Amino acid sequence: MRRTFGARVEDSTFELNLAPMLDIIVSIVPMLLMSIAFVHVTVVDTPVPQAVDKAMAAANDKKDQVQILLAVSKETGFRFTVNDKGQTHDVNVPLNGKDLDLVALHKQTIELKKQYPDVFRVELNPEEKVPLNEIVATMDSLRTIQGSEAKVTFHDVDSGKSIETNLVFPDVVFGNVAGG
Amino acid sequence: MARRGFKKYMDKRSPATFKIQITSMVDMFVILLVFLLKSYSTSPVQLSPGKDMTLPVSTSVKDPVDVLKLQVSKNAIFVEDKKIVDLKDGQVDVKDVDQNDTQFIRTLYTELDGQANKSRTIASKNEEVEFDGKVILQADRNLPYELLKKVMYTSMMAGYSDVKIAVLSKD
């Protein structure tokens, strides 16, 4: 009896039945399309780790706490005003051309944090002409370190150990709203 | 002889029924499924800014919470999608502003105060609910701080002092 090669090959191959799999996918796709978020909306409120939270609470309890104010102006740029036990000094970050210099602001923020590692709050005082997107960008520069920058170190009030964090001044408040 | 020839012809011919080749279709659907799963939102609160509003972009990653929503577009101020104040070129009309305090938007205060009283009434009857004065502010990125200050000041007067600004995530 003669055996053909072609017949043997035909026996060993088979076709996968993909129809049930397709049924499942077709059912899932409309459900996912209904709940899809093409734009991810978040809120500006940086999450604070517990150790940082305690340090912030401890810092706010101190009566002789250092106060840092940041004025934002479209004409003159940024101006930090640091009130350290009654002594006040200003640090200016001028405009870069006609725009606010956010890179220079961030560098200055890191420098201030090195000087005052136990301060977590900055009072923001923007001028009336400053648009919201520039205020949010300013807040981002103040709150966290960017990219591969060295982390910020502070002392944990409970353990007394040094803790590294990517939060710089996480507690940014509008200082001139209540004033009317 | 002729019948045998016809049978051979029929065997060689493709059959009347055929199978659709769905492998490539399944491939396509799997790619689509992976994309949709990646952009699937797990946040319980969905914020959808209006069509004439562009939110500012931020590095913040915190998901919004289910609190009162305040929208400020170039044309109007809304509380929970209800238009409260009309704006002209991003400015509040004089009739809506208090004469003694130019930062105080009276019509907005009336609405927010009503919302705050409603929340306080619910909180007094249900121990699990607490009125914490939180509000999510969705505002157009180009609006000046002058207007936002008025809105924040008015909401603060109505008891909503914890203002959270809605932003588009950079991620």
Element (H, E) at A52: helix A50-61
pLDDT in tens, A101-159: 999 999 999 989 888 888 888 889 999 899 999 999 999 999 888 777 777 777 676 77
Domain total for chain A?
A: 1
Answer whether A40 sits within 8 Å of B171, measured CB to CB.
yes
Residue in B29, B61, B141 nearest the CB of A29? B29
The count of other CB atoms within 10 Å of the CB of residue B84 is: 19
The distance of Cα A28 from the centroid of its chain, to the nearest Å, equals 34
Residue B122 distance to chain A (closest CA, Å): 25
- The pLDDT value recorded for residue A179 is 62
Domain total for chain B?
A: 2
User: Does B43 map to a domain?
Assistant: no
User: pTM score, two decimals?
Assistant: 0.75
User: Does A6 map to a domain?
Assistant: no
User: Does A39 map to a domain?
Assistant: no
Cα gap B126→B103, rounded to integer Å: 34
Residue in A15, A29, A127 nearest the CB of B32? A29
**Full domain range(s) for residue A158:** 50-174
**Full domain range(s) for residue B14:** 2-38
pLDDT in tens, A20-71: 888 998 898 888 888 777 777 777 764 444 455 566 566 666 656 788 999 9
Residue A134 distance to chain B (closest CA, Å): 8
CA nearest neighbour of A28 among B22, B43, B40: B40
Answer whether A37 sits within 8 Å of B41, measured CB to CB.
yes
Residue A90 distance to chain B (closest CA, Å): 23
Q: Which two tokens stand for residue A52?
A: 């940082």
Residues of chain A contacting residue B26, judged by C-beta atoms under 8 Å apart: 18, 21-22, 25
Of residues B54 and A47, more confidently modeled: B54
For an interface test with A, the pick among B39, B46, B53, B145 (most A C-beta atoms closer than 10 Å) comes out as B145
User: Does B47 map to a domain?
Assistant: no
CA nearest neighbour of A124 among A140, A132, A135, A108: A135
User: Does B44 map to a domain?
Assistant: no
User: Does A7 map to a domain?
Assistant: no
ipTM of the complex: 0.76
For residues A67-105, b (16+ Cβ closer than 10 Å) or e, as one string? ebbbbbebeebbbbebeeeeeeeeeebeeeeeebbbebb
Shared domain for B85 and B154, answered yes or no, is: yes
User: Does A37 map to a domain?
Assistant: no
Shared domain for B71 and B15, answered yes or no, is: no
Shared domain for B146 and B85, answered yes or no, is: yes
Identify the closest residue of chain B to A43 by CA–CA distance.
B166
